[in-house]
C-alpha cells in the first residue's frame, strides 16, 4: 500500500511542506504477553520458518505463533529447556534452539532431542546458532561446537586467548564462502579448514549484519558500518550510527529498510530503529510500544508485519502496511474536508484548516468565523427586520460554541453552514461572504441556494445576495420534504433523504414525494449517493440498501443483496466508487462488489468507527473521524494465498482424548483419519498460515456435498458428535473479510468404520456363508425330500401291502368268523338240539320244550350278534359260555358243571376279548372229554392277568387225550380257528395256545394281549 493517498501524501507532506508531526502515520500494533500464552514476557529470540510458524524463545521456554494463535511448545516444557537466546533451522528445515544453561534443543517436527555437555557439547551455555552447509555451529563462552545435521556427531573447537574472561561468541556470518564469528571480548575470527584464525581484534560486538558488500557491526555505543572486506582487514568504518547495543537486525526485501533492535539501558537509546542510508530514526513511539528494551526482530515479508521481542512486555506485532493507515491530525474531530487545485480544506471542531503549497493560510479558527459574522451581520439587519418570516440567528453565540453542519465545494469555492449562518470562502481559501441563513442541509443547484429549515420545509433562494427566496411548507404540501438528513444532486434533479418521510426529489421546479406516490415506500432514510445520471443508491435507518434506476418517468426499485451482509448498526457513510459500494458503520467500512465482501475495522487499523466525513480520490477513501484521518486503499487486496495450501488440521480430540498419531510440525500430516465406530465424537482444530489478519476469517463446514452448510463461526474448530459410520469429506468454507476472498477447502477425510458385523467384508462373508448354508440346506432338503419321497413310496408300497394284507386278514377274519359261526352252529349241534326238543314234545313235556326252545333261541341270537363284532367284553363271553352249557345240559345224561375263577386288576366289563373265543374249546370238552363213564363232568374256567397279558385256562375232568393213539387223534376245526385268531390278534408268531392233557383231564391255556383288549375298549 502507498504511504498515503495521492493528494494527502504528495501534496501535503512532500510538496506543500506540511509538518511531519501534523500528518505523522500511526501504525497498528498488537501486544502479546504471558497472558496470551507466552512462557515469559522476556522474549530473547524470534525465528520464522518456511512453514510460516513463528518460534518465540523466552527466558522461561518456547512458544509458537501460527494463525494468530500463540501455543506453548510442550517438548521444551517436558525437557525443562528455557532461557532461549537463539533459534535457527538447518538445510532439512529442522529447528535448533540455543539455551544459556541447558545446551541445545533439536526438533524435527515429531520429536525433540536435547544435547548438553554430557552428550559432547563444549558448554551448556550456548549463545549463538548458525547453519552452514551440513552443520550447525553453536557458539558458547569458550568456543563453539559443530554438529552434523544428519549423523549428529559433535565436534568442539576452543579459541585460545590470553584473557582470563570468557570470550563469549556473539554471532556468526559468512563472506565469500568462509565462516566467521564475533566475540564479546576477544575480537573476530575466521574458521577455515577447521582452523581458527583471528582477523580483527575489535571487541564488544553484539551482532553483525551483512547486506551486499556492507557489514553493520553493533557495538556498545553505536553501529559501525564497514565494507565487509575492510572490516576483515582491520580497516576503519565508513561511518557510525548512534544506537547502543543492537541485538538484532532485519532488512526488508522489497523496501530495503533495515530495522534494528536496541536493548540499551537508557530509554532514549533503546527501542526500534530504522536505518535508511546514513540516517537512523527511532520508531518505538510510532509503533506504540511501551518497552524500549528490545532483543529480537522477525519480519513477515508477505504481509509486511514486523515482530518485535521485548525484554519486559512480551511480543509486539506491528502492521507496517495495515489496510487503514491512521493520521491523528492532532486528534481533532474532523467534520468535513475537500481537496481542490493543490489546496486542502479540513473542517474540524476547532475551525477550518486551509493548506496549500505553503502554510500561508494556516487555520481559520472559530474566533475568525465569529468575527467575520459580526462584521457582516450588520449588512443584513435592515432586511432581517423587514422580513419577519425569516428565521432569526442568535448573535450571542460565543465562538467556542459554534457548530459546523455541512460544507460544500462549488466552483472551487467552499460553502459552510453553521449555527451562526452560512459562510462562503473565495478561491484563495479566505472568508468572502456571510449569509444569515440557518440550515443543517443545503445545496447549490442551477444558480439557486436550496436550504432546509428548522420548522420543516425548504427555502429556495433565487438570489442569495438579496436573500430573495421562496418558502415551501411541508405542512401545506406533503410533496415538500422535512427532517432532511442528506441531499445529493445531478444536473437535473435534487434528491432529499428524510429521516421520517422517505425520499423526495426536486425537478423542474416541482417537489415530489416518492412515498406519497408509492414509487418508493421506505420512510426512515439515512444516506443517498448517485451512481450515474439515472441510478442512485439509498440507505435506510435499518441498514437496508436499495438501487433505484430512473427509466423515463418511472423509477425501478431493487433491494440490494448487500443489505444482509452489512456489519454494523448505523450507516454513517455511503459511497459508490468504480463498481464498489462503500458502507461505513459503527463496526467499520463495508466494501461490496459483485464478487466479494470486505470489512475494514479495528483489526486492520480502523479503530475509530465514528465516521464524520469522507473523500474519494485515486482508489483511496479518506475517512474523517472524531480523532483524525484514516486512509484506506480500495485496491490494495493482497495476492491471495490459496487456503487449500495453508489450511492444516492442528488438533484432533477423539472421545475427549487427544489424538497425537501422525502429527508433524504441529499439524496432522495425513489426509485421511480412519476410526472405529466407537470413536465417533471428534473435535478438529485447524490453522491457516500466511494470513495477514486471521481475525477476519470466518468459517462454516459440511461433511457431505449434498448437506446444508453449518452457520458461520470464527473459532477455528469443529465439533462432531456421535456421527454414524460412513465416509465423510470434511469441507471448510473460509471467508476472508479482509480481502473478500472465499474458498472451499477439503483438509480431511474421516472414515468411521462400522462394527465388524456391518462391514462389507463381514456382510459378504455372511452372504457367502448364507448362500452356502442355503445351498447345503436346499441340498439337504432335497435329499430329505428324496428320502422322504422314497420312504413315502416305500410306505405307500408298505401301506398298500398292509392294506392288501389287512384286506386279506379281514377276509380271513370274516371267513374265520363265518367258519366259527358255522362251527358253533354246525348241523350236528342243531340236529341234537332239535332232536331233544322233539323228545320233549313227544313226551308232552311242554314246559321243558318251551324252556329249551327259549334257551336255544337266545343262544342263536347271541351267536348272530357276536359274529359281526371284533371284540366283546370278557363278561359277555363268559355269559355266552354259561348259556351254551345250559343248552347242552338239557340234552346230556350227565349235566356239565361250570366253575369260573377270576383274578383281575380291572373289571371284567372293561376287558375286551374276541367274541366266542372260548366256545369251541368248551364244545370240544363236552364232545370228546366227557364219556359215559364221567358221571360228574366239570369244566373250570380261570381268568387272570399275568405280565400284561390276559390268561384264560379252561380245565375239564374228562378222559384226556394222552392215551389216545396218534392215528385216532384229530384236532377239531374249531380249535384250529381259535389258534389262528390268536395269532392274528398278536400279529406275530408265537405260542398263544397250549393244551396239557392227562388221565385226570385236559387244561387249555389261551394268552390274549391285554393292551389290545384295553385299547379296543377305549
The predicted-structure confidence for 736-776, as pLDDT tens digits, reads as follows 888 888 889 999 999 999 888 877 788 888 888 888 888 88
Phi, psi of 787 (to 5 degrees): -60, -45
Closest CA to 808 of 979, 980, 976: 980
**DSSP codes joined into one string, 743-774:** EEEEEEEEEEPPPGGGSHHHHHHHHHHHHHHH
Residue 995 backbone phi and psi in degrees, to 5? -135, 125
Strand ranges in 514-664 using DSSP code E only, listed in sequence order: 525-530, 535-540, 545-551, 554-559, 573-577, 580-584, 589-592, 597-600, 611-617, 620-625, 628-633, 647-654, 657-658, 663-664
Backbone angles phi, psi at 373, to 5 degrees: -65, -45
In this structure, how many other beta carbons lie within 10 angstroms of the beta carbon of residue 403?
A: 13
What number is the average pLDDT over the span 710-716?
A: 92
Q: Evaluate whether 908 touches 874 at the Cβ level (below 8 Å).
A: yes
**Residue 256 pLDDT class (50, 70, 90 cuts):** confident
Q: Residue 488: is its pLDDT beyond 60? A: yes
Tell me what pLDDT residue 986 has. 67
- The conformation of residue 602, written as its DSSP 8-state character, comes to G
For residue 215, the model assigns a pLDDT of 94
Closest by CA to 173, choosing from 123, 145, 214, 203, is 214
558 has pLDDT over 70: yes
CA distance 161 to 177: 25
pLDDT band at 159 (very low <50, low <70, confident <90, very high): confident
The whole-angstrom separation of Cα 684 and Cα 713 is 14
Q: What is the pLDDT of residue 328?
A: 81
The pLDDT, as a whole number, for residue 292 is 85
The span from the CA of 351 to the CA of 372, in Å, is: 13
Q: How far apart are CA 458 and CA 442, in angstroms?
A: 9
- pLDDT surpasses 70 at 1017: no
Grid look-up 581458527 returns 196
Instruction: Of 630-639, 651-660, 924-933, give the range with the top mean pLDDT.
Output: 651-660
pLDDT classification of 52: cutoffs 50, 70, 90: confident
Q: At CA 912, angle to CA 909 and CA 918, rounded to 5?
A: 105
Q: How confident is the prediction for the chain on average, in pLDDT? A: 85
> Residue 516 is placed in which grid cell?
406519497
DSSP letter, residue 927 = I
Q: At 821, is the pLDDT very low, low, confident or very high (cuts 50, 70, 90)? A: very low
Query: How does residue 145 score in pLDDT terms, banded at 50, 70 and 90?
Result: very high
User: For residue 322, is pLDDT > 70?
Assistant: yes
> In this structure, what are the phi and psi dihedrals at residue 120, rounded to the nearest 5 degrees?
120, -5
Higher pLDDT, 941 or 998: 941
Tell me which of 418-422, 762-766, 953-957 is least confident: 762-766
C-alpha cell at 156: 568442539
pLDDT tens per residue across span 568-613: 988 999 999 888 899 999 999 999 988 888 999 988 888 877 898 9
What does the alpha-carbon distance between residue 24 and residue 328 come to, in Å, rounded to a whole number? 7
What does the pLDDT average to over 506-511?
94
Region 147-175: mean pLDDT is 88
Q: Please count the other Cβ atoms lying within 10 Å of the Cβ belonging to residue 863.
A: 19
Check residue 442 and give its pLDDT. 96
What's the pLDDT score for residue 861?
86
Nearest to 550 by CA among 520, 525, 571, 516: 520
Q: Which residue reads 377270576 in cell numbers? A: 902
CA 975 remoteness from chain centre: 103
Average pLDDT over residues 57-66: 94
The average pLDDT across 899-913 equals: 86
Mean pLDDT for the stretch of residues 491-505: 95
Q: Please give the grid coordinates belonging to residue 567.
A: 456489519
The continuous run of DSSP H or E covering 405 comes out as: strand 404-410
Region 458-471: mean pLDDT is 91
Cell representation of residue 122: 563444549
Q: Convert the pLDDT of each residue in 614-646 to its tens digit.
A: 888 778 899 998 888 888 888 755 445 567 677
Please report which confidence band the pLDDT of residue 916 belongs to, taking 50, 70 and 90 as the band edges: confident
H or E element at residue 103: strand 103-107
DSSP 125: B
330-347 mean pLDDT: 82
Listed range (271-285, 350-364, 742-756, 931-945) with the worst mean pLDDT: 350-364
Across the range 850-879, mean pLDDT stands at: 84
CB atoms < 10 A from the CB of 984, how many? Answer: 15
Q: Does pTM top 0.85 for this prediction?
A: no
Amino acid at each position: 500500500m502507498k504511504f498515503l493517498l495521492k493528494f494527502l501524501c504528495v501534496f501535503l507532506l512532500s510538496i506543500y511542506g506540511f509538518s511531519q508531526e501534523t500528518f505523522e502515520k500511526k501504525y497498528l500494533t498488537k501486544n502479546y504477553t504471558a497472558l496470551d500464552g507466552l512462557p515469559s514476557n522476556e522474549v530473547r529470540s524470534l525465528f520464522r520458518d518456511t512453514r510460516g510458524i513463528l518460534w518465540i524463545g523466552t527466558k522461561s521456554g518456547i512458544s509458537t505463533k501460527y494463525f494468530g494463535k500463540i501455543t506453548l511448545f510442550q517438548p521444551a516444557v517436558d525437557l525443562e529447556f528455557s532461557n532461549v537466546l537463539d533459534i535457527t533451522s538447518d538445510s532439512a528445515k529442522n529447528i535448533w534452539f540455543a539455551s544459556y544453561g541447558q545446551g541445545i534443543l533439536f526438533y524435527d517436527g515429531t520429536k525433540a532431542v536435547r544435547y548438553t555437555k554430557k552428550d559432547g557439547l563444549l558448554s551448556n551455555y550456548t549463545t549463538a546458532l548458525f547453519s552452514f552447509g551440513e552443520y550447525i555451529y553453536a557458539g558458547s563462552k569458550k568456543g563453539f561446537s559443530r554438529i552434523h545435521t544428519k549423523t549428529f556427531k559433535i565436534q568442539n573447537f576452543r579459541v585460545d586467548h590470553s584473557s582470563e574472561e570468557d570470550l563469549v561468541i556473539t554471532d556468526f556470518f559468512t563472506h565469500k564462502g568462509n565462516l566467521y564469528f564475533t566475540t564479546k571480548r576477544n575480537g573476530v575470527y575466521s574458521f577455515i579448514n577447521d582452523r581458527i584464525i583471528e582477523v580483527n581484534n575489535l571487541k564488544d560486538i553484539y551482532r553483525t549484519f551483512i547486506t551486499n558488500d556492507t557489514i553493520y557491526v553493533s557495538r556498545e555505543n553505536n553501529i559501525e558500518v564497514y565494507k565487509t572486506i575492510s572490516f576483515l582487514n582491520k580497516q576503519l568504518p565508513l561511518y557510525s550510527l548512534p544506537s547502543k547495543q543492537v541485538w538484532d537486525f532485519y532488512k526488508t526485501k522489497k523496501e530495503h529498510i533495515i530495522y534494528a533492535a536496541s536493548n540499551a539501558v537508557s530509554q532514549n537509546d533503546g527501542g526500534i530503529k530504522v536505518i535508511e542510508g546514513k540516517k537512523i530514526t527511532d520508531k518505538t513511539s510510532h509503533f506504540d510500544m511501551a518497552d524500549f528494551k528490545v532483543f529480537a526482530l522477525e519480519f513477515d515479508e508477505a504481509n509486511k508485519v514486523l515482530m518485535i521481542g521485548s525484554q519486559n512486555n512480551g511480543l509486539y506485532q506491528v502492521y507496517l502496511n495495515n489496510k487503514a493507515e491512521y493520521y491523528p491530525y492532532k486528534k481533532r474531530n474532523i467534520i468535513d474536508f475537500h481537496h481542490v487545485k493543490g489546496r486542502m480544506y479540513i473542517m474540524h471542531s476547532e475551525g477550518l484548516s486551509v493548506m496549500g503549497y505553503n502554510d500561508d493560510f494556516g487555520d481559520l479558527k472559530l474566533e475568525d468565523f465569529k468575527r467575520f459574522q459580526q462584521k457582516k451581520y450588520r449588512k443584513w439587519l435592515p432586511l432581517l427586520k423587514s422580513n419577519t418570516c425569516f428565521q432569526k440567528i442568535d448573535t450571542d453565540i460565543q465562538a467556542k460554541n459554534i457548530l459546523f453542519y455541512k460544507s460544500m465545494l462549488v466552483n472551487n469555492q467552499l460553502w459552510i453552514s453553521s449555527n451562526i449562518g452560512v459562510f462562503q470562502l473565495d478561491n484563495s481559501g479566505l472568508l468572502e461572504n456571510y449569509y444569515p441563513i440557518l440550515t443543517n442541509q443545503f445545496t447549490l443547484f442551477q444558480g439557486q441556494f436550496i436550504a432546509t429549515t428548522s420548522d420543516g420545509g425548504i427555502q429556495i433562494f433565487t438570489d442569495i445576495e438579496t436573500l430573495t427566496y421562496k418558502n415551501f411548507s411541508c405542512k401545506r404540501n406533503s410533496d415538500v420534504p422535512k427532517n432532511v438528513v442528506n441531499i445529493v444532486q445531478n444536473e437535473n434533479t435534487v434528491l432529499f433523504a428524510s429521516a421520517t418521510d422517505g425520499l423526495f426529489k426536486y425537478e423542474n421546479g416541482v417537489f415530489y414525494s416518492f412515498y406519497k406516490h408509492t414509487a418508493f415506500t421506505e420512510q426512515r432514510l439515512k444516506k443517498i449517493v448517485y451512481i450515474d445520471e439515472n441510478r442512485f443508491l439509498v440507505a435506510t435507518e435499518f441498514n437496508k440498501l436499495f438501487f433505484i434506476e430512473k427509466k423515463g418517468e418511472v423509477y425501478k426499485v431493487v433491494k440490494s443483496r448487500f443489505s444482509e451482509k452489512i456489519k454494523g448498526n448505523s450507516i454513517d457513510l455511503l459511497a459508490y466508487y468504480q463498481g464498489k459500494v462503500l458502507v461505513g458503520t459503527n463496526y467499520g467500512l463495508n466494501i461490496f462488489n459483485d464478487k466479494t465482501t470486505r470489512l475494514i475495522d479495528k483489526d486492520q487499523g480502523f479503530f475509530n468507527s465514528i465516521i464524520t466525513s469522507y473523500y474519494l480520490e485515486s482508489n483511496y477513501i479518506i475517512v474523517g473521524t472524531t480523532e483524525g484521518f484514516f486512509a484506506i486503499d480500495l485496491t490494495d487486496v493482497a495476492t491471495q494465498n490459496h487456503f487449500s495450501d495453508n489450511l492444516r488440521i492442528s488438533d484432533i480430540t477423539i472421545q475427549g482424548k487427544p489424538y497425537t498419531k501422525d502429527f508433524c510440525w504441529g499439524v496432522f500430516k495425513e489426509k485421511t483419519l480412519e476410526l472405529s465406530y466407537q470413536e465417533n465424537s471428534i473435535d478438529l482444530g485447524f490453522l491457516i498460515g500466511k494470513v495477514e489478519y486471521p481475525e477476519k476469517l470466518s468459517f462454516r463446514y459440511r461433511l457431505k456435498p449434498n448437506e446444508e452448510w453449518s452457520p458461520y463461526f470464527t473459532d477455528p474448530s469443529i465439533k462432531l458428535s456421535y456421527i454414524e459410520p460412513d465416509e465423510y469429506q470434511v469441507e471448510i468454507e473460509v471467508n476472508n473479510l479482509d480481502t473478500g476472498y472465499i474458498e472451499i477447502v477439503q483438509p480431511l477425510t474421516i472414515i468411521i468404520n462400522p462394527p465388524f458385523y456391518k462391514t462389507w467384508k463381514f456382510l459378504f462373508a455372511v452372504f457367502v456363508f448364507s448362500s452356502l448354508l442355503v445351498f447345503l440346506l436346499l441340498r439337504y432338503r432335497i435329499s430329505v425330500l428324496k428320502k422322504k419321497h422314497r420312504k413315502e413310496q416305500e410306505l405307500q408300497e408298505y401301506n398298500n401291502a398292509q392294506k392288501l394284507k389287512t384286506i386279506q386278514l379281514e377276509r380271513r377274519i370274516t371267513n374265520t368268523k363265518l367258519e366259527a359261526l358255522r362251527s358253533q352252529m354246525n348241523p350236528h349241534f342243531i340236529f341234537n338240539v332239535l332232536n331233544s326238543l322233539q323228545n320233549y314234545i313227544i313226551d308232552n313235556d311242554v314246559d321243558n320244550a318251551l324252556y329249551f326252545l327259549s334257551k336255544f333261541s337266545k343262544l342263536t341270537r347271541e351267536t348272530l350278534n357276536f359274529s359281526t363284532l371284533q371284540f366283546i367284553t370278557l363278561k359277555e363271553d363268559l355269559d355266552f359260555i354259561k348259556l351254551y352249557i345250559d343248552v347242552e345240559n338239557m340234552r346230556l345224561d350227565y349235566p356239565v358243571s361250570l366253575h369260573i375263577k377270576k383274578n383281575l386288576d380291572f373289571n371284567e366289563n372293561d376287558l375286551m376279548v374276541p367274541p366266542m373265543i372260548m366256545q369251541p374249546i368248551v364244545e370240544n370238552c363236552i364232545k370228546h372229554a366227557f364219556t359215559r363213564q364221567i358221571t360228574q363232568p366239570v369244566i373250570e374256567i380261570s381268568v387272570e392277568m399275568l405280565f400284561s397279558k390276559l390268561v384264560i385256562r379252561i380245565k375239564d375232568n374228562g378222559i384226556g387225550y394222552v392215551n389216545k393213539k396218534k392215528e385216532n387223534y384229530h384236532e377239531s376245526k374249531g380249535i384250529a380257528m381259535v389258534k389262528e385268531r390268536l395269532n392274528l390278534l398278536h400279529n406275530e408268531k408265537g405260542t398263544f395256545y397250549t393244551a396239557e392233557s392227562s388221565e385226570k383231564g385236559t387244561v387249555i391255556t389261551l394268552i390274549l394281549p391285554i393292551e389290545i383288549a384295553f385299547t379296543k375298549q377305549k
